[in-house]
Amino acid sequence: MPKDHGIGASTKRREDVRFLTGTGNYLHDITVHGQAYAVFVRSNVANGRIVSVGSDAATGMPGVLAVFTGADFTAVGGNPAGWLINSRNGEPMREPKRPVLAHGKVRHVGDAYAAVIAASYNEAKDAAQAVADASVIEELPAVVDMAKALADPTNRVHDELPDNQCFDWGWIEDNRARVDAAIKAAPHVTTLELINNRLIPNAMEPRASIGEYFPGTGDYKLTTTSQNPHLTRLLVAAFVMGIPENKLTVVAPDVGGGFGSKIYHYGEEALVLAAAKKLKRAVKWVAERSESFLTDAHGRDHVTRIELACEKDGTFIAFRTETMANVGAYLSNFATVTPTFLHGTLMAGPYKVPNVYVNVKTVFTNTAPVDAYRGAGRPEATYSLERVVDMMCRELGLDPFEVRRKNFITTDMFPYTTPVGLAYDIGNYHATLDKATQLGDVAGFEGRRAASAAKGKLRGLGLSTWIEACGIAPSNLAGILGARVGLYDAATVRVNPTGNVSVFVGAHSHGQSHETVFPQIVADKFGIPESSVEIVHGDTSKIPFGMGSYGSRSLAVCGQAMSNACDKVVAKGRKIAAHMLEVTEADIVFSDGVFTASGTNKSKTFGEIAFSAYVPHNYPLATLEPGLEETAFYDPANFTYPAGTYICEVEVDADTGRVEVASFTCADDFGNVMNPMVVRGQVHGGVVQGIGQALLEHGVYDENGQLLSGSYMDYTMPRADDVPFVTVDHSCATPCTHNTLGVKGCGEAGAIGSPPAVVNAVLDALNRAGHNIAHIDMPLTPSRVWHAMNG
| Smallest separation, CB 87 to other proteins (Å) | 36
Q: How many residues comprise the chain? A: 791
* Contact by Cβ (8 Å): 788, 772: no
Q: Please, which residue, 28 or 176, has the CB nearer to other proteins? A: 28
d(CA 515, CA 536): 8
CB of 725 to other proteins, least distance (A): 4
The b/e string for 595-605 (b: 16+ C-beta within 10 A; e otherwise) is bbbeeeebbbe
Applying CB under 8 A, which residues contact other proteins? Answer: 12-13, 15-24, 26, 28-29, 122, 202-206, 254-257, 259, 288-290, 510-513, 677-678, 680-681, 684-689, 711-713, 717-721, 723-728, 750
By C-beta, is 282 or 348 nearer to other proteins? 282
- In angstroms, what CA-CA distances link 136 with 49, 104, 133, 547? 9, 12, 8, 41
**Cα(752)–Cα(736) distance, rounded to whole angstroms?**
19
Q: Measured from the CB of residue 688, what is the shortest distance to other proteins in angstroms?
A: 3
Residue number, 13 or 97, with CB nearest to other proteins: 13
Q: Is 633 exposed, middle or buried (0-12, 13-18, 19+ CB in 10 A)?
A: middle
Q: What does the H/E/C string look like for 717-783?
A: CCCHHHCCCEEEECCCCCCCCCCCCCECCCCCHHHHHHHHHHHHHHHHHHHHCCCCCCCCCCCCCHH
Distance of closest approach, residue 17 Cβ to other proteins, in angstroms: 7
Which is nearer to other proteins, 254 or 669 (by Cβ)?
Answer: 254
Report in angstroms how near the CB of residue 698 gets to other proteins at its nearest.
Answer: 16
Task: Pick the closer one to other proteins by CB: 158 or 207.
Answer: 207
Q: How far is the CB of 751 from other proteins (least distance, A)?
A: 10
Q: Are 267 and 101 in contact (CB under 8 A)?
A: yes
Alpha-carbon 445 to chain mean position: 34
Triad 678, 681, 682: Cα angle to 5°? 90
CB of 510 to other proteins, least distance (A): 5
CB of 96 to other proteins, least distance (A): 31
Rank residues 208 and 766 by Cβ distance to other proteins and give the closer one.
208
CB 208 within 8 A of CB 28: yes
Instruction: Name the minimum Å distance from CB 25 to other proteins.
Output: 9
Q: Cβ closer to other proteins: 260 or 544?
A: 260
**Residue closest to 613 by CA, chosen among 493, 524, 531:** 493
Q: Is the peptide bond before 474 cis (omega within 30 degrees of 0)?
A: yes
Cβ proximity to other proteins, 441 vs 608, nearer residue = 441
Of residues 80 and 676, the one with the C-beta less far from other proteins: 676
Q: Between residues 528 and 688, which has the closer beta carbon with respect to other proteins?
A: 688
> Whole-number minimum distance, CB 256 to other proteins, in Å?
3
Cβ-contact 747, 717 below 8 angstroms: no
- DSSP string covering 122-155, please? HHHHHHHHHHHHH-EEEE------HHHHHH-TTS
Tell which residue, 458, 471, 535, has the closest CA to residue 501: 535
Q: How far, in Å, CA of 462 to CA of 695, rounded? A: 14
